[in-house]
Each structure stands twice: as structure tokens, then as C-alpha cells.
Structure 1
Amino acid sequence: MDDILLPDIQTAGGPHEVVEEKNNSSRRSGLSLAVGQSIPTNCHPVTPETKPLSHLEVSQKLKDLLGYTLEVKQSEIPHKDAGKGVFIDGEADVGTVIAFYPGVVYSPAHYRYIPGYPRIDAQNSYLITRYDGTIINAQPWGIGGESRVIWNGSGVSEPMPNVEGTDKGSDKIWKMLSKPLDGTGAIKGEILERRNPLALAHYANHPARDMIPNVMVCPYDFPLTEKDMRTYIPNISFGDGEEVKMRRFGSFWFKSWKSGSAGSNIPILKSLVLVATRSLCDEELYLNYRLSNSKQRPSWYTPVDEEEDRRRWS
């Protein structure tokens, strides 16, 4: 993606270093030295200069490079609630990473900050859960954007309409045990490429009856030590990124008092990708949602494998 978006500047340190040098030179201007004053240090990350390409142009160039890209258009599923779907434009082999699931990442310790909690899915169909309990909210990402910006999940803290008298018994229990919290200002902005053509996994639809999924979800832990790649990972973590040990009891998560960690000390960003389960060519992507069979499922949902759904939520 750097080959597509970064200007063709030939320097020993690369384009990122050029931006940093410009920033340093502005802080040490001759005028500031002459008057004995220093210009305040800029605490915000500097967004590197990129080529003035539109989202569509970046998408086409990525297709020229990889052999495929993604586009969002009306789904081919024959159901009135199908809405839009995501399609692969080009060809990809089985096992290829097709798409990233973008948005704000919430650990179980931060569930109460998810907009609409506890009924977070009441007005948001762009949520997904990893096996470790991490939830990704793709709603604020939407279709992406037209530039590289400092993104802080704008829109994620907007309150959901509260309808009086609609709380069910289970919702009242949730609110008694864990009160919803306001997460305004708790997300640190990161420089992200909003023109990422592959950050569209949240538009993948569940297959209709007699249709077979052609992609599967795969958790991916992105090492934050890979600085050059960070801008292309379309996710940000809620909170300061510090890992809080949690244990699950039924439907509830509680802080664990167990000390020590056997995991790696390398900081990571928990994300999800879609991987092709067969060769793909100019077609819509279908993902098995595996909705819980213990709750009422929407009318459009046809289980691909009931036993698999049962194992997912057991």
C-alpha cells in the first residue's frame, strides 16, 4: 500500500523521516532561537503526506497489484432485508486474506462502554465477537473515507435512543450488575488509512438457504511493533490498550484476581480478517454468522450447520 499511496520521495530515511525532519525544523526555527522562545511541542501524531488519490483510485491500483479488490453494492441474496453486500472484484486463491473487520475494539473489561449497552445489537448490525470475548464495532467506520487521518472512532460514543419501558428482565439484570458507562474521550486517535479498500468485512452477508459460505472469520493479533504497517490496520482499541484479566461466568464477565501472565510481552491489537475458503472470482462474499440458537434469530437467518452454531455458543 505504501507503493500506492506515498509520494515518490527518494531519501535515506524514507518519506516518514522527511515529515519528521520538517516538523523538527519548524520547532527549531531561526526566529525562535533569536527571541529566546521555543515553539510548543506538537503532542499529536503527524499525518504523512500521501498521494491525492480517491478511494476508488486506490481500490483500482490495489487490484492491479494483488489481482483483486473489494466493492460494496446491493446484495444478491433474495431477501428484502439483505441490504448491501461486499463483493470481490477479481480473483483470489483459497486461504487468501480477503478483508479486514474495521472499527473500535472492546475487551470484555470495556463492554459497558459500547454504545447502546446492554442491548448493543438493537440498532447496530456491525458487531462481531472473537472467541476470546473481544468485540469489534464497525459501525463508526462505515464505508471508509477519502484520506489518511487521525481517527478516534468518531461517532462511537453517540448515545442510542432510549425507549421507556422496553427493558426486558434480562436487560434489567444486566444494568443492575453492570451500569452502562460513557466512553467519551477514552479512545486515543491513531493515524489510519481510511481509503483501505479491504476494510469492508462488516458488509459480508450471511448466506441464504442452499448457499454455501465462501469466507471464514479468523482472529489476528497485529503486533504494534510493526510501525510501518499500523496505518493500514483499520482498528483502534478502546481505553489505553492495557490488558485486563477477565473471567467468564455464564453470560457475565468479571475481573480476575489471578496474577501473572504466560503470554508475550509484545503489545498487540486484536483484530479479525476474512479468509477465502475456496477460490473466488467476481462474486459476493458470504460469511456464516453462527448466531446463537438460544435466542430468537431474525427471519432471514438460515443455519448453515446447527451443530456448529451450538458449539460456538456452548
Structure 2
Amino acid sequence: MTIEGSLPIAGPKKVGSWGGVCYYPISYNRLGRDAEEADALEIIDMASKASLADQQKQVQENIHAQIKSFSMSMDEILLPDTKRIGEAHELPPQPTAPRRSGLGFAVGRNAQPTNHPVVPETRPLKRVELSERLKDLIGYKLDIKPSQIPHKEAGQGLYLDGEADVGTVVALYPGVIYSPAYYRYIPGYPRVNAQNTYLITRYDGTVINAQPWGLGGETREVWNGLSMAEFKPDMQGVEKGSDRFWKLLNSPMVGTQAGLSSDILERRNPLAFAHYANHPANSTGPNVMVCPYDFPLAEKDMRAYIPNILFGNAEEVKMKRFGSFWFKLGSSGNGGSSVPVLKTLVLVATRALNNEEVLLNYRLSNSKRRPAWYTPVDEEEDRRRWS
């Protein structure tokens, strides 16, 4: 899935924005399965009176509460009986390694990275087994299989097996997170979507690349997102004058200057498949929407279940746009908040789901050429959002 956005590069188009868009399904979810029409009308009335900041806060709180519940369910399945949320990372003291001799350093015997985090012990379940057990606890699981969209480019699709209420967080968007400061490190820059159909952009310009994540893994492990294939741009054609200059300016940056973080992630994560959701066909409509979620890194007990890592520094970066390019101005703290976050995305059900394919409105720009398979869900709404 490639969803393009307002990037200074040829690439993903943004989906979703804050506002009250996520507010309605999320708020309805808080009422529970017994909610009635009058409750929905009350939500609409509350939304009309609530400030944008209040809506954002409530959306974040509800998404966080759902993901915390999911994390607790995962702990119940995977961790020993003595370890749960709040205890999962309380590991016993590690024995001090004996001082190595010069010869030991020379031959590298039993060499281990000194900053390598300790991975907590988990039950050796396959991802399929884990997914089935999770369904017993939360009522649904996700499957990847051929899409029912009648187009040859539809490929694999995302399916919900079971039932999920409106406002339920049904999937997490995994992968490497790039702030505008690090756009030029995205593989394939500036045409980042030329060989990558798993990019998405948040309303604030944050790009998430799910290509390195793929289908995840079969264990809990330290992951740094370096599994992506090397991008080799087309070198054909004669490069003269300004062509050579623009190619130099637009080339993807490489190396370890910015770097990737390394975190312990649950690679078996059964909900980390949002990147497989397809755009609906002309005869159908979307049943989920994208909502931004800022995961607070202070929640260390939940960290393994957030399938994302940050490219570059964790701090916010001041950027200035000059034409089509963003330039780094320097650190700006983190917007007044003392809690660093991972700027991620989740898919939220816009209606009750029951054993069906998960479909997301890609909301592609109407100012650029759209692919043949794309049919706008609401052309007028897209025009307003992209104006």
C-alpha cells in the first residue's frame, strides 16, 4: 500500500488528519456494545462543543487504553505467569561479566555488544498460534490473503477474522519512522515510492516505511529496521549541467550519521499488518480509518508491542521549508512535552466489522495522476482536504 502525501519528494500522500475525524468512532467505542442512536447524537453534540485540542486528547487516551489492553493480553499469552504489564521488564540483576584479557579481545571469543538490551523470556509460540490465542481474548485476529478487490494490482489484502466494534483499533502500522529532518535518508529518495508500496504519511509530515517490517517475525527480538532491500536508482541517461546538480541534491543519503535505533520488539505482533489494507473498489466503501497515535516511550512495559523504530534522534527537530525542500534548523525540544513519543498510526473501525476484508480510503491527491485502480470515495471531500 502506497499512500502519498504533501512531501517534498515523489512519494506517499498523507491520509487522515486530526480534527474530529477520529473522534466519532473512538468516542462511540468508549460507550461499549450497548450504545444506542441517542448516544451517537450525544457524541456529535459533544464534538461540536469540544475544542480541537480536547478531541485530540480524548482520541489519544482511548487509543492508548486499547493498545494497553492489547499489550496486557499479549503479556498474558507470552510471558511467564510471574511477569505481566508492570513487571515484564523487571528482570533479575544480570551477573557481571568477567574482565577479559587482551588475548580474549584479540580473538573475539564470546564477543557480545556491550549495549545490547536483554530480551525477556517469552513462550515459544508461532505467530499463527499467538494470533489464535489473541482472538480468544479480544474477539478477532488478522489474516493476510489475496484481496477481493477486482483489480490485478490488488495483490494481498488484510482480513479481519472475528468481530470488532466501531472505534476498535484493529491494526497497527509498523516500520521505520522518518521525521521531515530525515526525508533524504528514505531509501530511493526522492522517488521513494518507485519500488516501495508500503509508505504512509501522517498529517504532520512524519513518514512510516513498513517495507522493512514485511510480515514481521517469529519471536521477540532486538530490531533495527535494516532488513530493507538496497535501492538502486535508474542510472540511464546523460547527466549534464543542472540535471547532475538536481540528482546530487535529490540523492538518498546513506551511512550512519543519523542512524537507526534498536529496540526490543515483538516481531510476532498479530496486529502489525495495517500496511496490507487496500483501497475499496467502486462498489464498496472503507470500513476503517487512519488515526495518528503518539506512543509515549515512558510506557516501557508496552514498548515491545509498538512495531516501530525511529530513524535518527528521538528529539523533535526544527525544520524550515524552502521551495520543495525541508532544512534542519536545530533541536527544539519536544513541543513543551517532557515525554518523548513515537509518532505512529493505527487503523480504527468506522463501523462494526464481522469476518471481512479491511478497506481504507487512501484519499489520493486530485492534483496528481492517480493509478488506474483508484476510485475516489468522496471526490468533493478529497478536494477540500487537498485544497
TM tier relative to shorter chain: 0.7 to 0.9
**In the aligned structure 1, how far is the partner of 2:305 from the partner of 2:169?**
14
| Equivalent residue, structure 2, for 1:94 | 166
| Equivalent residue, structure 2, for 1:110 | 182
| Equivalent residue, structure 2, for 1:220 | 293
**In the aligned structure 1, how far is the partner of 2:233 from the partner of 2:331?**
38
Measured after TM superposition, the shift of residue 6 of structure 1 is: 0.7
Alignment of 1:1-314 (within 5 A): 1-9=74-82, 14-18=87-91, 20-21=92-93, 24-25=94-95, 27=96, 42-156=114-228, 158-165=230-237, 175=247, 177-184=249-256, 186-248=259-321, 251-256=324-329, 262-314=335-387
The one-letter amino acid of 2:144's match is V
**In the aligned structure 2, how far is the partner of 1:260 from the partner of 1:228?**
24
Contact 2:285 2:377 in 1 (8 A): yes
Measured after TM superposition, the shift of residue 178 of structure 1 is: 4.5
Q: CA RMSD in A?
A: 2.8
Measured after TM superposition, the shift of residue 173 of structure 1 is: 7.7
The one-letter amino acid of 1:181's match is M
Distance 1:199 1:171, change over 3 A: farther
The one-letter amino acid of 1:253's match is W
When the two structures are superposed, what TM-score results if normalisation uses the length of structure 1?
A: 0.87
Structure 1 regions of 5+ residues with no counterpart? 33-38
- Which has the larger helix fraction? 2
Contact 1:118 1:171 in 2 (8 A): no
The one-letter amino acid of 1:264's match is S
Number of aligned positions between the proteins: 300
Distance 1:184 1:165, change over 3 A: farther
**In the aligned structure 1, how far is the partner of 2:285 from the partner of 2:243?**
35
Distance 1:28 1:89, change over 3 A: same
Please state whether the residue corresponding to 1:231 is helix, strand or coil: helix
| Equivalent residue, structure 2, for 1:35 | none
Contact 1:147 1:193 in 2 (8 A): yes
Contact 2:141 2:271 in 1 (8 A): yes
Please state whether the residue corresponding to 1:59 is helix, strand or coil: helix
Contact 2:89 2:301 in 1 (8 A): no
> What is the CA deviation profile of residues 68-110 of structure 1, one whole-angstrom value per residue up to 9, with x for unaligned ones?
1111001011111110000001000000111000000000110
> What is the CA deviation profile of residues 14-64 of structure 1, one whole-angstrom value per residue up to 9, with x for unaligned ones?
45334x42xx22x167x99xxxxxx99931100111000000011011100
| Equivalent residue, structure 2, for 1:36 | none
Structure 2 regions of 5+ residues with no counterpart? 1-73, 101-110
Distance 1:40 1:90, change over 3 A: closer
> What is the CA deviation profile of residues 162-211 of structure 1, one whole-angstrom value per residue up to 9, with x for unaligned ones?
342399xx997864545420045811211000000000000000001121
**In the aligned structure 2, how far is the partner of 1:305 from the partner of 1:226?**
38
The one-letter amino acid of 2:363's match is R
Contact 2:196 2:211 in 1 (8 A): yes
| Equivalent residue, structure 1, for 2:5 | none
The one-letter amino acid of 1:299's match is A
Distance 1:172 1:285, change over 3 A: farther
The one-letter amino acid of 1:239's match is G
